[in-house]
Amino acid sequence: MKKGKMKKIVISVLLILLAFLIGTAGYIYYLLDQIQRNSFIDPSNSTDSSEPQVTDRKPSREDLGISDTAPDSKETGVVNVLLFGLDSRAKNQNSRSDTIMIATIDKKNEAIKLTSLMRDMYVSIPGREDNRINTAYIFGGPTLAIKTVNTNFNLDIQYYATVDFFGLEKIIDQVGGVTIDVKKEEIKYLNSALNELNRLNKDTEPSPLITEAGPQTLNGRQAVAYARIRKVGHADFERTERQRTILTQLFKKVKTINPLKLPGLVATVLPYVETNMPTTEILKLGASVLGFKSKDIIQYRIPVNGTFKSQRIRGMAVLVPDLEKNRELLHNFLYGDNSGVVNNE
C-alpha cells in the first residue's frame, strides 16, 4: 500500500474516532443537563413554623453560611461537595439526612477524599435551636444543611448531591454490584435491614438474604442494607465506615466500566440523583479525577476520636464535639497533603 494512501486511511480513522468522542461527550453533556435540579429552600423563611417555601433564586454566599475567612476553592484547588443520603422509607418522602459526607476533589495533591459527618453530632443550626446535624436537611433542605456545615466548620461548600436508599440501590445494580467483605457477626443485622427493604419494595422481586461471611458481590439492595447496619461493632461510628466502603467500592467499579458504556450508565443513574452542580462543573471535576495518578479514596470522620462527649440533651443521645479542635483537624485533612492521616475509626 502506498504511503500517501496509508496516511489518508490513518487520518480518516482518526477523524472518525474524534467525531465519535465529540459525539459521546456531547451526549453525556446532554444527559447531565437533564439531571434533577432542586429548588432551594428560601433561607428567609427557614425559621417560620410553617412549611418552608422554595425559591428559584440562587443562594448567596451568605445564604450558604460562607464566611470571608473560609478557604476559597479557587485559591486552594480543593472543591468540596456535600453528599446526602436520605433515610426515607417511601419514595419522595421528606426526610432527615441519614448520611452526610464531604466529597473532596483535591486538584493540588491529586487526591479524592471522603469525610463522614456523624449524624448525631450536636451543632448549631442557623435560625433554629441547636440539634443533631442531620435535622438541618428536614428543616430547610439542602440550603440549610449546607449552611449548617459551612458555619460550624468554616467551609466554602456550594455544591451538593442527594440520593435516597431507593436511588442508591438502583445505582449499585447498574454497575453490577459492589464487592464487600461481610463479617460473620454482621450477617444477622444485614438480613434484618434487607427484610425491611424487601417489604418496602413490594413491587419488585425480593433480594436474597446473605448466608455466609467473607468477600462477596452484593447487589444494590444488599449493599444498602449493609450500609444501614448499626447494632454490631462500634455502633454508628462503624456504620459510617461501612457507608464509605460502599462508595469507595462503587467508585472502583465505575472505573472498570468500558468508556463506551458510560453514556448508558449516566442515563440510567441520573434520575436517582439530585444536585445543584452545573453540568460544566460536573464534567470539569470528572476530567480532573480521571487525570489523578492515585485512584484510592482517602477517608476521614468528624468528630475525631477524643474530641467529643456523648451526652443526652432534651432526651436525645448526641455527640457534643469540640468544634474548634474538629474544625482544625478537618481543615488539615481537606486542605493538607494527608501524608500522615490515619483513618480515625
pLDDT of 17 above 60: no
Sorted by sequence, the CB contacts under 8 Å of residue 264 that are 6+ apart come out as none
Question: 176-256 belongs to which homologous superfamily?
Answer: LCP protein (3.40.630.190)
Question: Taking a C-beta distance cutoff of 8 angstroms, is the pair 150, 331 a contact?
Answer: no
Outline where the chain has alpha helix (H). 3-32, 73-76, 135-153, 165-174, 187-200, 220-227, 235-255, 262-269, 279-291, 323-335
Count of all residues that appear for the chain in the document:
345
pLDDT score, position 20: 43
The span from the CA of 118 to the CA of 268, in Å, is 30
The three-state secondary structure class of 41 is strand
How do residues 196-218 score in pLDDT, each as one tens digit? 999 988 878 999 999 999 999 99
Percent of the chain having pLDDT more than 70? Answer: 77
The answer on pLDDT for 226 being more than 80 is yes
Tell me the fold of 36-164+272-335: Nucleotidyltransferase; domain 5 (3.30.420)
The helix (H) or strand (E) run that includes residue 105 is strand 97-106
Position 334 pLDDT exceeds 90? yes
Compute how many other C-beta atoms are within 10 angstroms of the C-beta atom of residue 72: 11
Query: Helix (H, G, I), strand (E, B), or coil: what is residue 66?
Result: coil
The strand pairing partners of 132, in sequence order, are 122
* Mean pLDDT, residues 157-172: 87
Domain residue limits, the chain: 36-164+272-335, 176-256
Alpha carbon distances (Å) from 141 to 43, 50, 137, 303: 10, 14, 4, 23
pLDDT confidence of residue 11? 55
Banded pLDDT at 160 (limits 50, 70, 90): very high
Kindly state the helix (H) or strand (E) to which residue 45 belongs, with its residue range.
Answer: none
Q: What is the mean pLDDT of residues 267-288?
A: 79
Contact assessment for residue 91 and residue 204, using Cβ atoms and an 8 Å cutoff: no
Task: Classify residue 121 by its DSSP letter.
Answer: B
Contact 319, 308 (CB under 8 A): yes
pTM: 0.80
State how far the Cα of 84 lies from the Cα of 134, in Å rounded to an integer.
Answer: 9
